[in-house]
Structure 1
């Protein structure tokens, strides 16, 4: 803390915004090895606390942080009084101290930087996904803990028809989407799918992510990790380059823009097996979002191509459970002839009913899965209602469940 305070007071007065952060960068460039080590140990002490408390997120810095160190544990974000305080300039020094010069320049230019951080404790490598950004002219950071161990695929509770689509042994091509809001566990589900294939089939998997979170060890598959901004310039370029690397599976961390969406569809259409994510809450919303991202003149062609290459959409949420933790709730859509026809005919509003009636095939709506969790006494009625996409349908399912108990 002494080193942090000493460096922070060197920042000249009368300098604000990005220029102030650039002054911090200049000060850090002149630090010696002992000072740099002290800063790194201070930063890692905050990460150790995140590990100890099983917190999902850590945040500090910026005007909104109010000098406190915040942790999210089982869904609740609270300051930790035991971790002390960090003034805005001190937080800026600490955040920039773990960045390379190139990363600092990117932070100044874009006012944002995604990066990863590794922490070795014993024989375990803990990975963190970090996002540095500006909050009213000051530097702040959000740090998400990546699970040190992958959740076994079988614990996800997928139907065997869904597993066949996820597995390279059964399905060699097609697009599968894992969707959900930020913090819904999309990356963890993708990691479980990667390990399903890594332990069961011989192949080559290319992961393109920003940043790379969990680092897989090659087992039956050789697994390449390519971080956007570090190993490759963009998702689009990484996907195109992967075609020359003879992959069996391509993982595209996020389909965040029209170029990446079109590239993913083209690569899948060429016969590759592709997984990716979207920030959407339901299967139907995912389909509509993809089409809406494309210029109107291209939408009809993309709609038809999407219907041809899509195999499965999993939309998921992490719901607070009755034991004070969180539990996975999911919606699953499989590409049946009826679903394919609805997409091609631009009748996506019909798909929800198809999913609700497709239980034997392995499909399930978010509301049906929330009802299942409530029936198993894993989540409360309030949580089921809060996390349902279709509130009216959720009420009907819960009412039907109560009536069946009475009968």
Structure 2
């Protein structure tokens, strides 16, 4: 028997919504093509605790949400039967608010096995394929910019095309990577491992070629990821920054002041590239815009260690070591893929965008 949660999920699937927002004493909202839309009010007598308990039960988590607590979970809904049965997966965040429970569900679509179809630049894909000696690649950007989708697509491409041992560590698992010519080991923080750091250290005993770390959130994970890259493994991960040149200082800020300079040096020694991405809404779809910084060169790494972001940005704009987000957005505007106003809202350097 369907309940209100199933009804909302089915409507989200029908409208191709990316996110569902459910909160106590509030209407339900859907996000479609990047824009919010009020969907429905819960039926009279419906308690949001029913949805919370259902999500916790289906996800296999502890069957209660406590005050001052939040949970990140995976949720799956099956629709249809027999050969017509389909499974739709969601990443769920549960938390307590002043109104009560808040539920945010992000729909996870099938992984794209060719990153180029997502708009991922060929420069990044070539770098991934050529990086046999190991190193670390960061995908950066704001929340909801598709970073996890890009990582999953890169990993799926490698598993499908190269005979490698690949390990993913996520919180929660967001995509099921299809089996291919390579081997894939998928681990989830909170269910199959206790932490990113613990799983990374265990991965060193699994002889991986490639490691995907869902996000670098703390100094322990940062240190373990850098160590994995230093020992010849290719590491993909994400971080919340708006400019490619900010990544070393963002990682260093996780550490005590006396260790920050050393950590910048440690990171730049193994840093292969940083890509910032944003999704620009249009009338039909979300369009990927990117900023790219190739950090393999010794001169580039020296500028990063010295904190010369101004010179790095100049070299990006000249095309020597990548490109800026403004340049990517300007190409999309000139080709009429996105509107000028939408590009202005997406830029990480508004003043310069207006002058270019």
| TM-score (norm: length of structure 1) | 0.81
SS in 1 for 2:161: coil
Residues of 2 paired with 1:124 and 1:105: CA distance?
Answer: 26
User: Greater helix share, 1 or 2?
Assistant: 1
Q: Within the alignment, does 1:237 sit opposite 2:194 as a pair?
A: no
Is the counterpart of residue 290 in structure 1 residue 248 in structure 2?
no
Q: Report the Cα offset of residue 286 of structure 1.
A: 2.2
Deviation at residue 191 of structure 1 after TM alignment: 1.3
Q: 1:235 to 1:287 in 2, by over 3 A?
A: same
Task: Determine if contact 1:284/1:349 at 8 Å carries over to the other structure.
Answer: no
User: Which residue of structure 1 aligns with residue 162 of structure 2?
Assistant: 201
Compute the displacement of 1:291 (Å). 1.6
Give, in whole Å, the separation in 2 of the partners of 1:395 and 1:283: 20
Which sections of structure 2, spanning at least 5 residues, go unmatched?
none
Q: CA RMSD of the aligned region, Å?
A: 2.2
- Name the structure 2 match of 1:49: 11
Q: 1:110 to 1:102 in 2, by over 3 A?
A: farther
Residue of structure 2 aligned with 1:319, choices 274, 280, 283: 280
Per-residue CA deviations over 1:250-271 (Å, capped at 9, x if unaligned) read 1000001111111111111121
Matches within 5 A, 1:380-391: 380-391=339-350
- Does structure 2 retain, via aligned residues, the 8 Å contact 1:114–1:131? yes
- Map of 1:209-358 to 2, 5 A cutoff? 209-321=170-282, 323-335=283-295, 336-358=297-319
- Provide the C-alpha distance between the structure 2 equivalents of 1:134 and 1:88, rounded to a whole number of angstroms: 20
Q: Does residue 22 of structure 2 align to residue 60 of structure 1?
A: yes
2:88 equivalent in structure 1: 126
Q: CA separation of 1:117/1:327 partners in 2, compared to 1, >3 Å: closer, same or farther?
A: same
Structure 1 position 181 matched with structure 2 position 142: yes
Aligned in 2, Cα 1:157/1:311: closer, same or farther, shift over 3 Å?
same
**Equivalent residue, structure 2, for 1:34:** none
User: Could you tell me which residue of structure 1 aligns to residue 53 of structure 2?
Assistant: 96
Which residue matches 1:396? 355
Displacement of 1:343 after TM fit?
A: 1.4
* Cross-structure match for 1:12: none
Is the Cα–Cα contact under 8 Å of residues 164 and 171 in structure 1 kept in the other structure?
no
Partner SS state of residue 66, structure 2: helix
* 2:70 is the alignment partner of 1:108: no
1:10 counterpart residue number: none
Bigger radius of gyration among the two: 1
- Determine if the alignment matches structure 1 residue 71 to structure 2 residue 30: yes
Sort the Cα spacing of 1:326 and 1:102 in 2 relative to 1 into closer, same or farther, 3 A.
closer
Q: Once structures 1 and 2 are overlaid, which stretch shifts more, 289-298 or 304-313?
A: 289-298
Answer yes or no: is the 8 Å Cα contact 1:92–1:138 preserved in 2.
no
Q: Provide the aligned length of Structure 1 versus Structure 2.
A: 350
- The one of 361, 377, 392 equivalent to 2:336 is 377
Query: What TM-score, normalized to structure 2?
Result: 0.92
Contact kept? 1:352, 1:365, Cα under 8 Å: yes
**C-alpha distance in structure 1 between counterparts of 2:50 and 2:121, whole Å:** 49
CA contact (8 A) 2:21 2:105 kept: yes
Q: Provide closer, same or farther for how the CA distance between residues 310 and 242 of structure 1 changes in structure 2, counting only shifts above 3 A.
A: same
CA distance in 2, matches of 1:295, 1:43: 45
Work out the CA distance in 2 between the residues paired with 1:378 and 1:170. Answer: 32
Q: SS of the residue aligned with 2:95? A: strand
* Equivalent residue runs for 1:156-195 within 5 Å: 156-167=118-129, 170-195=131-156
Check the 8 A contact 2:112/2:118 in 1, yes or no.
Answer: no
Shift of 1:350: 2.5
